[in-house]
């Protein structure tokens, strides 16, 4: 009896040391439950709940419970802490790109390189959730573009064609100004919107200088010394100096800019396509008048779209056994046309989905549909710099407001930004800084 008690005690202790995932635990009714952590924004919670419902309907023996966390730095700290302590949910949503790399994926995440769905993912996206030759995530919702939204009705009235070079763009602006229409809308009261002439130009930068991202990270090139990268700041100065901005550019907010674009009082708005959701909601009667084109560069043959990859969905290493198998099933569902349909059910996409076989809904706004040809064309799109380099200085939006307002010359703004990123690179401990 004493020996049996000792064996039973050892067995209980061993079981206590195992995680629920490693045991493949199930609920009392025989169902297995996955926990799914996302940030607490409506843009994340609604799709997550739609995915959970759709997956459970297809897999009735698995339930997905959606949990939420704060956004911003507080949420980042929660993610890192829970990964470090082995207390992460079974599946979680988080950024792709440089912030994903900061999670030490090889140490904390379960790779999905060998899963069948890996071959269905967009190559741009795969680059943002891979490390040391391993793939770790699937896309959470659609991509996003940095581009110029334009009023198609105004273009038709003036007989303008979509420009592919900066010279063609400035020619269109001259004709718009002559017609008493604000050529370029800027909304500097919302300072983040001032960055797009710089950030959305990165496809043109990388087309002219393919090694820019790597050299920039290694401190071998700078915005002030790279002819291609400097152009983003120069373009900001040029549209201001030519008098092509809306008269209230200094005080206008994003909602004001969208209203001017929708009404035809302004013709061009350099912005992220995430705003199209607001545009469709607030200006449903004119949303069909709005189109999109990539930021023009110097070479029409190389003109293309700068893309912001979606966030990713990942499996932590602490998810084991039957739960890891179920988690992989869940990721396979997310990276499928059915998963894309669940995203579409939760809200209009901000860009094309980053999964092969997924198509945009028929009622998708034209501006988003205009992104698809860039995505489909070989070499027609590139990732934004922030997905290829961990360096992005915090003062960029203040600097671009100054350059775009005529307060600071373009060359000085670029040089100031180079100083700004130096501080961050040194904080990150990057070699060469």
Q: Does residue 13 carry a pLDDT above 90?
A: no
* pLDDT bucket at 428, cuts 50 / 70 / 90: confident
Residue 25: Cβ-neighbour burial (10 angstroms; 0-12, 13-18, 19+): middle
pLDDT tier at 232 (50, 70, 90 boundaries)? Answer: very high
Whether 16 has a pLDDT exceeding 80, the answer reads no
pLDDT band at 293 (very low <50, low <70, confident <90, very high): very high
Q: Are residues 248 and 342 in the same domain?
A: no
Q: What is the mean pLDDT of residues 377-382?
A: 92
Could you give the number of structural domains in the chain? 2
H helices within 71-192, ranges in order? 72-85, 98-101, 105-108, 123-128, 152-158, 166-178
Give a yes or no: residue 185 inside a domain.
Answer: yes
CB under 8 Å to 57, separation ≥6 — which residues? Answer: none
Of 2-16, 54-68, 147-161, 372-386, give the lowest mean pLDDT range.
2-16
- CB 62 within 8 Å of CB 326: yes
Contact predicate 221/212, CB 8 Å: yes
Q: With respect to residue 360, please indicate whether it lies within any of the assigned structural domains.
A: no
Let me know whether 300 and 327 are in one domain. Answer: no
Q: Do 389 and 254 lie in a common domain?
A: yes
Does the structure show a pLDDT above 90 at 241? yes
For residues 119-142, average pLDDT: 94
Domain that includes residue 40, residue range: 20-142+310-346
- Whether residue 179 sits in one domain with residue 30: no
Fill in the DSSP letter of residue 141: S
User: Is the model's pLDDT at 115 over the cut of 90?
Assistant: yes
Asked if 74 and 106 sit in the same domain, the reply is: yes
Is the same domain home to 137 and 148?
Answer: no
pLDDT of 347 reads 84
Instruction: Tell me the C-alpha distance between 121 and 133, whole Å.
Output: 15
- Is the pLDDT confidence value at 18 over 60? no
Backbone torsions φ then ψ of 310, nearest 5 degrees: -70, 170
Residue 331 falls inside a structural domain:
yes
> The domain that contains 416 carries what CATH number?
3.40.190.10
pLDDT at 28: 56
CB atoms within 10 A of CB 220: 12
Residue 4: pLDDT above 90? no
Per-residue model confidence (pLDDT) at position 1: 38
Walk across the sheet containing 62-69 and list its strands. Answer: 62-69, 32-39, 91-94, 311-314, 137-140
* pTM for this prediction: 0.82
Judged by average pLDDT, the poorest of 141-150, 178-187, 275-284, 298-307 is 275-284
Q: Is residue 1 part of a domain?
A: no
What is the tally of helices (H) and strands (E) in the chain?
A: 21, 13
- Examine the pLDDT at 20 and tell me if it is beyond 50: no
Asked if residue 357 belongs to a domain, the reply is no
3-state secondary structure 370-407: CCHHHHHCCCCEEECHHHCCCCCCCCHHHHHHHHHCCC
Residue 358, in any domain of the structure: no
Q: Are residues 130 and 155 in the same domain?
A: no
Same domain, 84 and 197: no
Q: Phi and psi at residue 68, in whole multiples of 5°? A: -125, 155
Question: In which band, very low, low, confident or very high, does the pLDDT at 22 lie, cut at 50, 70 and 90?
Answer: very low
Same domain? 274 vs 314: no
Question: Tokens 């800019």 map to which residue?
Answer: 257
> What is the DSSP track for 309-339?
PPEEEE-BTT--HHHHHHHHHHHHHHTSHHH
**pLDDT attached to residue 299:** 94
Domain-located, residue 4: no
Looking at the fold, whether 113 and 203 belong to one and the same domain comes out as no
Look at residue 193 and tell me whether its pLDDT is greater than 60: yes
The verdict on 294 and 421 lying in the same domain is: yes
Distances (CA, A) of 355 to 21, 96, 273, 299, 350: 28, 15, 18, 29, 14
- The per-residue pLDDT for 42 is 83
What is residue 391's predicted lDDT score, i.e. its pLDDT? 87
**Within a domain: residue 359?**
no
The count of residues in the chain is 433
What is the rounded average pLDDT for all residues in the chain? 92
Q: Partners of 139 in the beta sheet?
A: 312
In this prediction, residue 27 carries a pLDDT of 57
Which pair of tokens denotes residue 190?
């919302």
Q: Do 184 and 84 fall into the same domain?
A: no
| CA–CA gap between residue 270 and residue 272 (Å, rounded) | 7
């Amino acid at each position: 009896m004493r020996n049996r008690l000792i064996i039973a005690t050892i067995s209980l202790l061993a079981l206590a040391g195992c995680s629920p995932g490693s045991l493949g635990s199930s609920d009392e009714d025989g169902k297995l439950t996955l926990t799914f952590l996302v940030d607490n924004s409506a843009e994340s919670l609604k799709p997550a709940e739609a995915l959970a419902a759709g997956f459970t309907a297809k897999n009735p023996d698995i339930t997905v419970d959606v949990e939420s966390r704060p956004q911003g730095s507080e949420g980042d700290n929660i993610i890192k802490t829970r990964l470090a302590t082995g207390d992460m949910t079974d599946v979680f949503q988080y950024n792709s790109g440089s912030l994903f790399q900061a999670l030490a994926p090889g140490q904390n995440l379960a790779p999905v390189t060998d899963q069948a769905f890996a071959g269905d993912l967009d190559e741009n996206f795969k680059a943002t959730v891979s490390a040391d030759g391993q793939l770790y995530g699937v896309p959470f919702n659609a991509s996003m573009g940095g581009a110029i939204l334009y009023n198609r009705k105004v273009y038709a009235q003036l007989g303008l064609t979509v420009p592919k070079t900066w010279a063609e763009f400035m020619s269109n602006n001259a004709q718009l100004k002559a017609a008493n229409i604000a050529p370029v809308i800027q909304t500097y009261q919302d300072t983040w919107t001032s960055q797009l002439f710089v950030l959305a130009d990165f496809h043109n930068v990388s087309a002219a200088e393919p090694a820019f991202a790597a050299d920039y990270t290694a401190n071998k090139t700078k915005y002030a010394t790279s002819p291609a990268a400097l152009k983003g700041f120069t373009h900001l100065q040029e549209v201001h100096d030519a008098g092509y901005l809306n008269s209230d550019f200094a005080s206008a907010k994003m909602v004001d800019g969208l209203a001017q674009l929708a009404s035809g009082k302004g013709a061009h708005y350099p912005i992220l396509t995430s705003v199209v959701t607001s545009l469709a909601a607030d200006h449903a009667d004119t949303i069909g008048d709005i189109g999109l084109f990539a930021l023009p560069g110097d070479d029409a043959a190389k003109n293309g779209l700068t893309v912001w990859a979606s966030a990713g969905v990942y499996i932590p290493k602490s998810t084991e056994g039957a739960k890891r198998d179920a988690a992989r099933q869940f990721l396979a569902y997310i990276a499928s046309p059915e998963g894309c349909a669940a995203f579409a059910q939760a809200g209009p996409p901000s860009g094309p989905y980053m999964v092969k076989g997924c198509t945009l809904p028929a009622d998708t706004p034209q501006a988003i549909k205009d992104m698809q040809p860039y995505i489909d064309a070989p070499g027609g799109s590139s990732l934004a710099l922030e997905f290829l380099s961990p360096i992005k200085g915090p003062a960029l939006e203040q600097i671009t407001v100054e350059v775009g307002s005529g307060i600071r010359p373009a060359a000085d703004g670029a040089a100031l930004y180079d100083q700004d990123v130096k501080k961050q690179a040194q904080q990150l401990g990057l070699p060469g800084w």
